[in-house]
Structure 1
Amino acid sequence: MGRRQEVSNERILEVARRCFLLRGAGVSAVEIAGELGVSHTTIFNRFGSKEALMIAALGVPDQIEWASVLEKGPDNRPVFEQLVQHGKVVAAYFQNLQAGLAVLHAAGIPNDKIFPDQTADSAPAKAFMALVAWLRVAQSQGRIGKCDVETLASTILGALYNWAQTASVCGHSTTRDDSESHVERFIELLWNGIGVE
């Protein structure tokens, strides 16, 4: 019998996520392993349980990519334009996260297992602080009005997350164009209160 191929954790998570999103929480590790060309034992050896695999594939990632972009600070373009651009990326992230969370909740996995790390070192906390720092720099440059930047960051992230939640619950269109249009309207509304450029 030939040796089974090696497969990365990232590849396992990618295939598992696709399977869970397409077919729901009932997808077995055997089915996922079959698509990967490995044994289901390989998956359990890497992740320990189906629940742990689901959380790793569908929950909050260890690193939130858009946070590292924000850490670079505002560039020379108008802040309004940058907020729209960042908002579109964050909105897409939240839509993807919401899809995964819906499957996890449907499987009966409680939030304390989905979000076990609620410290300042967690990926969501770091992403929040990256946005706060970005806004603080823009404010120190006189490019946004005087306001509490932590409240502003909470408002931005909360509104974008709630759009993903509302769209899925209320049946709003979640196409890329519709989501981006929502972000543009939201930032324009927000800009009425914070804009100076």
Structure 2
Amino acid sequence: MGRARTVEDEDILKAARLAFLDRGQLATTREIAEAAGISQAVLYQRFGSKDDLFFAAMAPPPPDLDGLLGDPPRAPEETEAYLADVAERLYRYFETVAPLFVQLATHTAFRADHLADAHQPMMESGLVGALGIRLGDLAQKGRIRSGDGSAMAGLLISVVHGEALSAALLKTPPDGERRRETIRLLWRGLSPTGTSE
């Protein structure tokens, strides 16, 4: 009978994620193993190679769809503020995952499918799909202009994701006012009356 694991894989991945975010590919398996409280041999038994460990550690956490979308607005006049709140929560999520994407894209063993796998939780079956359904519901209630909810969701997510990725690449501080202005501009197209209120 084998020994029970005292250090879970997620604890190893957390130690690896911190090391890779701090030092990139220069992080060693020795320092990661020490930080996780295991031997290098155990690390390799669990993950096979440093590259396998890297790609497992840099996989972004799945989005908390309920937390990101929040409760729908109760009154029509709350819709623009609701969209601004969703955009802010999306930004905070992307702010945490953008550095992971940067590390993925700059790894020497990077392949396009790594990035596709990392973005999968945001595709139609995930975040884009859930936000698209929410926007479709708002359109049916007359809270926003009717249209393809998935297209509207994709636009909002792309803008916020792009801002977070740009901030991670350029090391610029978050710009909440820019996000609010973006929502005001989007609202002009989404508003059932066609203008910002």
Give the TM-score normalised by structure 2: 0.81
**Cα drift, residue 40 of structure 1:** 2.0
Aligned to 2:139: 139
- Gap change, CA 1:40 and 1:114, over 3 Å in 2: farther
Aligned to 1:111: 112
**Cα drift, residue 170 of structure 1:** 4.3
2:31 is equivalent to residue 35 of structure 1: no
| Equivalences, count | 186
What letter corresponds to residue 100 of structure 1 in structure 2?
Answer: L
- Gap change, CA 1:129 and 1:37, over 3 Å in 2: same
Are the counterparts in 1 of residues 140 and 146 from structure 2 also a CA contact under 8 Å?
no
3-state SS, counterpart of residue 59 of structure 1: coil
Deviations 1:151-190 (A, max 9, x none): 211111111111123333445323xxx2x33322211111
Are the counterparts in 2 of residues 71 and 133 from structure 1 also a CA contact under 8 Å?
no
- The within-5 A match list for 1:103-182 is 103-108=103-108, 109-116=110-117, 122-125=120-123, 126-174=126-174, 178=175, 180-182=176-178
**Cα drift, residue 106 of structure 1:** 2.1
Name whichever of 186-195 and 90-99 sits farther off: 90-99
Aligned to 1:58: 58
Are the counterparts in 1 of residues 134 and 149 from structure 2 also a CA contact under 8 Å?
no
Provide the alpha-carbon RMSD of the alignment: 2.6
Higher relative contact order (CA 8 A, sep 6+): 1
- Gap change, CA 1:114 and 1:6, over 3 Å in 2: farther
Aligned to 2:15: 15
Whole-angstrom distance in 2 between the partners of 1:70 and 1:139: 19
Deviations 1:100-136 (A, max 9, x none): 1212222221221343488xxx422211111111111
Whole-angstrom distance in 2 between the partners of 1:15 and 1:5: 16
Unaligned runs of 5+ in 2: none
Aligned to 1:195: 191
Name whichever of 152-161 and 47-56 sits farther off: 47-56
Whole-angstrom distance in 1 between the partners of 2:21 and 2:117: 22
- Gap change, CA 1:117 and 1:107, over 3 Å in 2: closer
Whole-angstrom distance in 1 between the partners of 2:135 and 2:186: 13
Whole-angstrom distance in 2 between the partners of 1:173 and 1:117: 24
Whole-angstrom distance in 2 between the partners of 1:4 and 1:40: 18
